Amino acid sequence: MASEFKSTHAAKRWILSLILLVLIVTAVLVLRGAGRWLIREDPLARADVIVVLSGSMPYRAEEAGQIFRMGYAPEVWVSRPEGPGAELAKLGVRYTGEDEYNRDVLIRQGVPETAVHIFPNEIIDTEQEVEEVSREMRRAGKHSVIFVTSIQHTRRVKALWRRLVGDSPAALVHGAPEDPFDRNHWWNNTRDSFSVVREVLGLVNVWAGLPVRPHSKPQK
């Protein structure tokens, strides 16, 4: 009886060890593929406007300029991210924001200055960018947009648009290929690792209904 009990106990431990090994291998495979999974691009098609989302200068603006030259849209809109302009102005320091640099990049890429539009309001994160783009599109009577962002950011941009806007206006999401991100070995450096963690947490927030909201500037 004792030997039979030991044999049954050993079999259970072996099965549990096998299940644990399978779970570990699965988790490793999922993590290794996270960088590729975050990339969710749409085929390029004609649209009313191209939007350069903030971040990763100059790669996003460079790609937007190339798409413009290919004739996919007649205008390029540039997001204006939150910056320390007001605080620096009090110190007598002039601040040139990311939006101005992106405009300069676009112009050097051959986009006419009259075709570049910078959003008037500062934004804090992608959620606010999506909301501002959709408002401006409806105000201007635009029906389709091409978002240009980093490749690892494409899935979250698409998910946010569907959550906040839906299918109308229509949105295509395109990644800037020159923006450095190692989709196959993202764990090898802190930049890519932080990007993956940020994107995954951002997607969880979208799927949960956006319970975590953008921060607000402290009131003076």
Q: What is the 3-state secondary structure (H, E, C) of the chain?
A: CHHHHHHHHHHHHHHHHHHHHHHHHHHHHHHHCHHHHCCCCCCCCCCCEEEECCCCCCHHHHHHHHHHHCCCCCCEEECCECCCHHHHHHCCCCCCCHHHHHHHHHHHCCCCHHHEEECCCCECCHHHHHHHHHHHHHHHCCCEEEEEEEHHHHHHHHHHHHHHCCCCCEEEEEEECCCCCCCCCHHHCHHHHHHHHHHHHHHHHHHCCCCCCCCCCCCC
Lowest-confidence segment of 106-110, 148-152, 213-217 by average pLDDT: 213-217
The residues facing 77 across adjacent strands are 51, 117
Q: What is the pLDDT of residue 53?
A: 95
pLDDT tens-place string over residues 164-174: 999 899 999 99
Q: What is the pLDDT of residue 156?
A: 96
pLDDT tens-place string over residues 6-30: 566 666 666 665 555 454 544 444 5
Q: What is the pLDDT of residue 123?
A: 87
Higher pLDDT, residue 126 or 10: 126
For residue 200 the two structure tokens come to 């995954």
Mean pLDDT, all residues of the chain: 85
Q: How far apart are CA 27 and CA 164, in angstroms?
A: 31
Please enumerate in sequence order all residues whose Cβ is within 8 A of that of 129, keeping only pairs 6 or more positions apart, or say none.
Answer: 51, 53, 54, 79, 123
Query: What is the total residue count of the chain?
Result: 220
Q: Give the percent of the chain with pLDDT over 90.
A: 61
Q: Residue 160 above 70 pLDDT? A: yes
Phi, psi of 172 (to 5 degrees): -105, 140
Q: Give pTM, 2 decimals.
A: 0.83
Phi, psi of 179 (to 5 degrees): -65, 120
Q: What is the pLDDT of residue 202?
A: 93
Q: What is the pLDDT of residue 10?
A: 61
Mean pLDDT (whole number) for 184-189: 90
The residues facing 81 across adjacent strands are 123
35-207: CATH architecture: 3-Layer(aba) Sandwich (3.40)
